[in-house]
């Protein structure tokens, strides 16, 4: 499945439209919409959204596949873990 995800990224997103510095939430959202087994995660150290494949444990963003080397939390879980951060991310990144 990793190859299908990487091919999708390469084919559908030939140009970087700030997918890692301003639109990373929407890029992760698009990946999760296309590949339903992916989930949106937030890297709190780097302030970056990625899509996570819980089966292979790979993370994906515009630049492709990453192995876990960051502090990440499932975005939906942030509502309960840090409500103020969750609401701020909704305001600044999603809306």
DSSP output for 29-86: HHHHHHSTTEEEEEETTTTEEEEEETTTTEEEETTEEEES-S-EEEHHHHHHH-HHHH
Residue in the structure block whose two tokens are 């876990």: 68
Each residue's pLDDT tens digit, 41-91: 999 888 999 999 888 888 999 999 987 667 889 999 999 999 999 999 999
pLDDT bin (cut points 50, 70, 90) of residue 11 is very high
Distance CA 8, CA 38 (A): 14
Read off φ and ψ for residue 80, nearest 5 degrees. -95, -30
Distance CA 54, CA 58 (A): 7
């Amino acid at each position: 499945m990793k190859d299908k995800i990487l091919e999708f990224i390469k084919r559908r997103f030939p140009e970087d439209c700030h997918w890692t510095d301003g639109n990373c939430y929407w890029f992760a959202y698009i990946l999760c919409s296309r590949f339903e087994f992916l989930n949106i995660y937030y890297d709190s150290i780097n302030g970056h959204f990625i899509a996570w494949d819980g089966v292979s444990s790979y993370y994906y963003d515009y630049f492709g596949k990453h192995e876990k080397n960051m502090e990440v939390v499932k975005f939906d879980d942030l509502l309960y873990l840090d409500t103020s951060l969750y609401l701020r991310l909704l305001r600044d990144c999603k809306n």
